[in-house]
Amino acid sequence: MTFLQQSSLLSCFIIFSSSSLLLVSSRGPVYKPPSVERLTDRFHPTPVSAKMSTFYGSSNIRMKNNGSYADIILDKNSGSGLVSKDRYHHGFFSAAVKLPMGVTSGVVLAFYMSNSDVFPHNHDEIDFELLGHEKRKEWVLQTNIYGNGSVKTGREEKFYLWFDPTQDFHQYTILWNKHHIVFLVDNIPVREVIHNQVSFFVYPSKPMSLYTTIWDASEWATHGGKYPVNYNYAPFVASLGEFEIEGCLMPKTNSSTMGSCLMSSTLSSSDPVEGGDFIKLTRQQTVGMNWARTKHMFYSYCKDTSRYKVIPPECNA
């Protein structure tokens, strides 16, 4: 056996333990995720074409399977994106995503909510951003929130994924109500933002649209732009499907204000995420979130003392 073969074997092997299956790779240990409640099973998938319309880059959007799925594409000419046909105040927003393969440094796939088109100076956002990495097949997951235009303080947290997001579809979910915001990956909570007196000002509070986009973020996505998008590997194709969008639907005639909440499209409640199952994490979900944050989170703004001389107050709540 050659030295290179020995090195390859040492770089990736499996250890069995009493608690989980541990895969050791060149990036470090990747643990088997714990079992959690499948919130996505409580809602019904809807075709992409039923809930979303073109945001930009129409020539780089391809509907598939009668609109049940869509590809959004980045090439040297343009990125592309979709936006929800409706605006929501609170809700459950989920999509299954399969990311582009190969060298993807500088490429960003975003699944997020925003109202910057209506409130340009005090907008809200709830962000999933998947950041292409300079290493082949590796992606970084970033979450962020802004409330009432609080964009001077970035509230980013970053995670390594415990799976290869280019090989299959994985679910990315935003749960947003008056109690908390929860970011979930394959139903495992990775972050919870609790709505309380400390977080009140920065907590998203106004109706938002749902977006999903793929774009060139060479200037900042990988080490401040050290690794820009390499269009020799274009086109970069992200596949989307299994959209679950259930929320407090805002009237189209007065979508820039709270107004009155219309009935959800498929559920009997006017606010489908207000019930007891959605106001706090269960024990299983808490265990899952602690696992994700302990094993896979590698950056939190709350611990970035070089960036913030005074740590934002919600970090100490």
| Contact present, 243 and 46 (Cβ < 8 Å) | yes
Spot the catalytic one: 129, 157, 244, 246.
Answer: 129
CA angle 308, 306, 194 (to 5 degrees): 40
The active-site residue out of 125, 138, 244, 314 is: 125
Active site residue 125: yes
Nearest-angstrom CA–CA distance, 181 and 175: 6
| Known catalytic membership, residue 274 | no
Which sequence positions are flagged as catalytic?
Answer: 125, 129
